[in-house]
């Protein structure tokens, strides 16, 4: 009678051992399958990735702090440089996406494919602000093309891999994860970079960042590094932005973003304090273009935009991107806070005037007699003369007060103000003399505000229009 239970026990143990062994043997087989599948996926994508070499005449020196992922090549005349970058095919007819800075000012473009075939390329259209360009090659056969993915579904920790031409050594692949999203590296007012630790080096610019389904979720464009090599801080333009820009370039030859004629900036704790708000929310309007859609709809300087079409956006960059991506002719609804009350404002979206979109300027510094108003802000001010207005390229209907110098280590200097800036308003009142500035500051003190709000037209501005600056002031009697 003892034999049957013992036999059953032995059989059960053998069954358990068999299952355990089967499971143990299955794991390495599964790992091998995954590795093989990944290698097969990458091999299938390599024909869509290209190396791009260009010849440029040198005019400027790159910014050493934020280094574009291109690399100069030796053995060329002193004023002619060879550079290499990357790209990827988006249409079998020969359309290739790359970064604008790869082909900027290039008088010769050569595209090399993974099979070693070389073709002459031509820049069809480009966007400096978006740092994207379309290059065309004339192929005698349909080319393998990459497919866009959805960067909006990416999460920190997702696996990705980058393909390109690092240091000009040839087509290479590097793997990593998404390290961060919506990164602002001060490259444009629309920054929304994907950060990845997949090694990106000089020469990777313009190459694709693939997800694990083989879709393009980003365009590798920039690294931040104290050295010439990757330190794990690589940045890619998300496909949601790149796809929009490239479609616009293909259709219109330029980006043609949606436009309402308004400039906004992120609400900060200092600005919120100056406005009497309990906490920072939304984006504050710093400028409304005369006769633009926003002005006609009733938006005003100092309004705080809380929502876009019912959605709360992460920051002012997200708001600007949403407006830019809105199809021309549609009407958006902005929830606006003014004087403590909120109301919806419908605003029709027009096409951004092309000359304004592309315009850039850097006015030279104007020397003027110094008048210190007020001393604790560290600002030297003078009335705005005719010559100053011309130097600052101000509209004829704009008035203000010229900043002639900014004291070192002052709060004004820390907030980025510099000589050549023009103060247009203090709090919500226009100013035309240094005395007006003093009066506005005194009024802020009288209301026991820790900060005073100034609308400033910067001497050097990446985009047209002024910005709000909140400067720290001593409270009344302090």
Confirm whether 325 is a catalytic residue.
Answer: no
What one-character DSSP code corresponds to residue 41? H
Q: Say if residues 330 and 349 touch (Cβ distance below 8 Å).
A: yes
Q: Say if residues 332 and 323 touch (Cβ distance below 8 Å).
A: yes
Q: What is the DSSP string of 11-23?
A: HHHHHHHHHHHHH
Confirm whether 188 is a catalytic residue.
Answer: no
- What lies within 8 Å, CB to CB, of 365 at 6+ separation is 419, 420, 459
Exposure b/e, 213-222, CB count within 10 A at least 16 = b: ebbbbbbbbb
Q: What angle do CA 160, 164, 165 make, to 5 degrees?
A: 145
53, 86, 127, 131: which is the annotated catalytic residue?
131
101, 187, 197, 286: which is the annotated catalytic residue?
101
Q: Which residues make beta-bridge pairs with 119?
A: 111
Cα separation, 131 vs 112, whole angstroms = 21
| Phi/psi of residue 303, nearest 5 degrees | -65, 150
Confirm whether 447 is a catalytic residue.
Answer: no
- Integer-rounded Cα Rg, in Å, for the chain is 28
Cα separation, 178 vs 46, whole angstroms = 21
- Alpha helix (H) residue ranges in 83-208: 100-103
What one-character DSSP code corresponds to residue 285? E
Nearest partner of 239 among 130, 150, 134, judged by Cα? 150
Q: Say if residues 335 and 305 touch (Cβ distance below 8 Å).
A: yes
Q: Say if residues 109 and 54 touch (Cβ distance below 8 Å).
A: yes
172, 205, 230, 380: which is the annotated catalytic residue?
205
Q: Say if residues 53 and 71 touch (Cβ distance below 8 Å).
A: no
Catalytically annotated residues: 101, 131, 205
């Amino acid at each position: 009678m003892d034999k049957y239970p013992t036999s059953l026990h032995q059989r059960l143990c053998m069954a358990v051992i068999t299952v355990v062994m089967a499971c143990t043997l299955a794991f390495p087989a599964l790992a091998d399958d995954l590795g093989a599948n990944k290698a097969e996926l990458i091999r299938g994508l390599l024909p869509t990735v290209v190396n791009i070499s260009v010849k440029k005449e040198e005019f400027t020196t790159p910014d050493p702090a934020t280094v574009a992922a291109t690399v100069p090549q030796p053995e060329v005349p002193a004023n002619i440089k060879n550079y290499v970058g990357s790209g990827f095919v988006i249409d079998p007819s020969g359309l290739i996406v790359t970064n604008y800075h790869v082909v900027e000012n290039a008088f010769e473009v050569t595209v090399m494919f993974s099979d070693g075939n070389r073709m002459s390329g031509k820049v069809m259209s480009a966007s400096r602000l978006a740092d994207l360009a379309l290059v065309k090659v004339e192929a005698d056969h349909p080319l393998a093309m990459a497919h866009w993915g959805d960067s909006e579904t990416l999460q920190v920790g997702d696996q990705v891999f980058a393909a390109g031409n690092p240091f000009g050594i040839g087509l290479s692949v590097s793997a990593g994860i998404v390290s961060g999203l919506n990164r602002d590296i001060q490259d444009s007012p629309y920054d929304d970079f994907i950060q990845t630790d997949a090694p990106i080096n000089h020469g990777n610019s313009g190459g694709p960042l693939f997800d694990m389904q083989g879709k393009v979720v980003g365009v590798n464009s920039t690294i931040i590094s104290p050295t010439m090599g990757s330190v794990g801080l690589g940045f890619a333009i998300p496909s949601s932005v790149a796809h929009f820009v490239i479609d616009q370039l293909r259709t219109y030859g330029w980006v043609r973003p949606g436009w309402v004629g308004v400039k906004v900036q992120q609400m900060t704790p200092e600005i919120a304090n100056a406005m009497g708000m309990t906490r920072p929310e939304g984006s504050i309007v710093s400028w409304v273009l005369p006769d633009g859609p926003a002005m006609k709809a009733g938006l005003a300087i100092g309004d705080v935009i809380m929502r876009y079409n019912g959605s709360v956006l992460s920051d002012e960059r997200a708001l600007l991107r949403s407006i830019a991506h809105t199809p021309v002719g549609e009407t958006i609804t902005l929830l606006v806070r003014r004087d403590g009350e909120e109301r919806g404002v419908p605003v029709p979206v027009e096409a951004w005037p092309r000359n304004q979109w592309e315009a850039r300027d850097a006015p030279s510094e104007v020397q003027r007699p110094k008048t210190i108003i007020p001393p604790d802000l560290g600002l030297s001010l003078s009335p705005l003369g005719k010559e100053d207005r011309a130097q600052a390229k101000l509209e004829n209907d704009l008035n203000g007060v010229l900043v002639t110098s900014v004291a070192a280590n002052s709060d004004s200097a820390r907030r980025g103000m510099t000589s050549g800036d023009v103060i247009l308003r203090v709090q919500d009142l226009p100013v035309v003399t240094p005395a007006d500035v003093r009066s506005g500051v005194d009024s802020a003190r009288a209301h026991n505000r820790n900060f005073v709000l100034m609308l400033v037209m910067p001497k050097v501005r990446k985009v047209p229009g002024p910005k709000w600056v909140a400067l720290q002031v001593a409270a009344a009697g302090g």
